[in-house]
Structure 1
Amino acid sequence: MIPKFRAWDRLRKEMNYKVMVGNCDTDDENWTCPIIWIEEKKDWLHFDDYECIMQSTGLKDKNGKEIFEGDILEIQDEGEVLGNAKLTWDNEQAVFMIEAISVDDIAPFHEILSDESYSYRVVGNVYENKEVLDA
């Protein structure tokens, strides 16, 4: 799988899907130098707040929409809606995690994937659809 990223532009309040993250070496020092494509400028620009860069899981929801870190998913069990959950990344475990919004429940995303009775669909993301977090 080729890694894909997206980034939230806080100034313009929009999601950008043409994102590239690179690692630069200078005098034996490694540092991350993220850059982002801004379509209206037709140019790659330095993106200082790379905390808002989100990686694709490489998976798609039941409607064929690509799932990224930061997405809000509606989880169903055999057709019954269980609620919404947000997808996060856990650096310590190196795994995508699903965080239930209505209850304090967190589980590795692969556990949801391995149970075929569950289905999920992207209903928004934490930047553009904060109102869905309260649903």
Structure 2
Amino acid sequence: MRELKFRVWNTIDRKMLKWGDIFHLPAWEIFPGTPEQRAFDIMQYTGLRDKNGKEIYEGDIIKKIGDIKTYSIVFDGVLAAYLMDDGTGGYGLNQMLLRDFEVIGNIYENPELLKDKKMKYRKRPVEVEAFRLGCEPMPGWFLNEVKKNNIKTSTFGYTPNESGDSFYRDELQARIKTSEGTMYAEDGDYIIKGIKGEIYPCKPDIFEATYEKVEDSQC
């Protein structure tokens, strides 16, 4: 049976205390009506130890030897089990696994150990060719793919005017064969030629949020 031990974080004085340091207080001060009123965050001993024999509690931060990735120890109420959480999901704990891990801090006194651990990337600046279907002339690279039957275009449209009389307005559509299957472009969408010659459609709002416009086009 796991030994029952606790430690306590004093949220007012911002100090880590042993359970005995608050054990003399009345229960209503330790466990008030709501968590927001609580002056103490109570953490239980998991019953497990790290590679150095140090006891592991809820809220501890652990790291595998030779790795930069860190995990916080959490209790999952649904699984009724302690997990090591890397920010994207929890993993089960056992003593065999923890023989390669060590406690390096906790979420209260060392929160910086969990920050900025996710790998971040910035998209490299690239130049692409593009035009807006139905708004700008079709460039040669697009027409060449039409001739090869890799792109098929069609026109359609029927719009009533304010007086009720009807008139046709041609609207372009394009079906584009790509390595990921056939994609469809509607009138006003951008058609992009990528850095490897790949051709694909893009909605105007996404295009304008991703690429810097060199010149305006009217549709």
Which TM-score applies when normalising by structure 2?
0.44
Q: 1:12 to 1:92 in 2, by over 3 A?
A: same
What is the distance in 2 between the residues matched to 1:51 and 1:10? Answer: 6
Q: Deviations over 1:34-92 (max 9, x none)?
A: xx24xxxxx4352232872110012221122110011000123xxx3151100000011
Identity percentage over the alignment? 31
- Of 98, 102, 121, 2:84 maps to 98
Match of 1:72 in 2: 61
Structure of larger gyration radius = 2
Q: What's the TM-score, normalizing by structure 1?
A: 0.68
Distance 2:39 2:14 in 1: 15
Structure 1, unpaired ranges of 5+: 21-35, 38-42
Residue 84 in 1 paired to residue 70 in 2?
A: yes
AA partner of residue 5 (structure 2)? K
The structure richer in helix per residue is: 2
1:133 maps to: 114
20, 39, 46: which one aligns with 1:57: 46
Query: Which structure features the higher share of strand residues?
Result: 1
The residue identity in structure 1 corresponding to 2:107 is V
Q: Does 1:108 align with 2:92?
A: yes
Q: Which amino acid aligns with 2:51?
A: K
Deviations 1:72-127 (A, max 9, x none): 00123xxx3151100000011110011114xx2321113xx4448x6111111111
Closer/same/farther in 2, CA of residues 115 and 16 from structure 1, 3 Å limit: closer
Between the two proteins, the alignment pairs up a number of residues equal to 107
C-alpha change, 1:18 and 1:128, in structure 2 (3 Å) is: same
User: Would the aligned equivalents of 2:54 and 2:103 in 1 still touch at CA under 8 Å?
Assistant: yes
